[in-house]
Structure 1
Amino acid sequence: MQIPILKQGHVLVVCIHAALTDRDLLQLRDELALEIGQRRSHGVVIDVSALDVLDSFASRTLRGIAQTTWLRGAKTIVVGIQAEVAFAMVQLGLVMEGVETALDLEEGLALLATSEGASGGRD
């Protein structure tokens, strides 16, 4: 499944609207790593608000995406984790260490704008 990657200023926005296969998640990771360089993006927001499940592979892959994008010079924020999904992740011991989260897309974009302003941005 092709996942659209939208550009808003220096930020890439990914909205995941349906459960993804393991292959889809890995493809998203690879595409984001390329897009960051091609579009000179400073941040990535991944919106998972439509998902009612985040399994261990998806959690690990999102963490891997955040680490990959950081190595490419961009900060990643995962937004929209539903309360029930958060409860289940905690009960299953699924952690996303090093991954910033926000309540929704608006808050995620605001966090990126704040961190970019504090660091002076990247030219």
Structure 2
Amino acid sequence: MTERVPVLKIGDVLLVSIQVDLEDQIVLDLQEDLASRIVESGARGVVIDITAVEIVDSFVGRMLATTAAISRMLDAETVVVGMRPAVAITLVELGLSLGGVRTALTLEKGLNLLARPGNDRPAQR
């Protein structure tokens, strides 16, 4: 049995704190669990805390972008928090801009970003 990343509910936001190495099956399970929890809870925001992630590769970058896209399809905004400088540098060097993924330095800032009224969705034109 593989480890599962816990998905915690804080108000109308789901918190995913990644504390394990992200292997393929763990990521697939996380995406499925998160999608189910968004639908069940009606969450309007998802915070993915990667403070414990020290090394990133293209797989982790794609996982973050894909997870955010799944959340967006289910009407939940995603913010990635706790990115270390080395992780940010590596993502840029790999050419992974994480389009559609908002970032904040801390969990508190990420929750505040999602809490701003009228600022949770980009304007559609």
TM-score for both structures, normalised by structure 1? 0.90
Q: Which residue of 1 aligns with 2:118?
A: 118
Mind listing any 5+ residue stretches in structure 2 that lack a counterpart?
Answer: 121-125
Structure with greater proportional helix content: 1
Compared CA separation, residues 49 and 119, structure 1 to 2 (3 A): closer
* Alpha-carbon distance between aligned partners in 1 of 2:36 and 2:93, rounded to the nearest angstrom: 34
Match for residue 41 of structure 1?
43
Structure 1 unmatched ranges of 5 or more: none
Q: Which amino acid aligns with 1:118?
A: G
Inter-partner Cα distance in structure 2 for 1:119 and 1:56: 30
User: Which whole-Å CA distance do the structure 2 matches of 1:28 and 1:104 have between them?
Assistant: 21
Question: Which of 102, 105, 108 is equivalent to 1:103?
Answer: 105
Q: CA deviation at 1:94?
A: 2.4
Number of the residue aligned with 1:6: 8
One of 62, 78, 81 as aligned partner of 1:60: 62
Q: What secondary structure sits across from 1:57 in the alignment?
A: helix
For 2:56, the aligned partner's letter is: L
Matching residue of 2:23: 21
What percentage of aligned pairs have identical amino acids?
Answer: 42
Quickly say closer, same or farther: Cα 1:119–1:86, change in 2 above 3 A.
closer
State the shift of 1:55 in Å.
1.2
Shift of 1:95: 2.2
Query: How many residue pairs get matched?
Result: 118
| Deviations 1:56-79 (CA, angstroms, capped at 9, x unpaired) | 111111101111111101101011
| Aligned mates of 1:27, 1:5 — CA distance in 2 | 11
Q: CA deviation at 1:119?
A: 6.2
User: Is 1:93 matched up with 2:95?
Assistant: yes
Deviations 1:1-49 (A, max 9, x none): 1111110000000111122101111111111111001011010000001
Q: Which residue of 72, 79, 82 corresponds with 2:81? A: 79
Report the CA distance between 1:91 and its aligned residue. Answer: 1.8
Deviation at residue 86 of structure 1 after TM alignment: 0.9
Which residue is 2:123 aligned to? none
Q: 1:119 to 1:105 in 2, by over 3 A?
A: closer
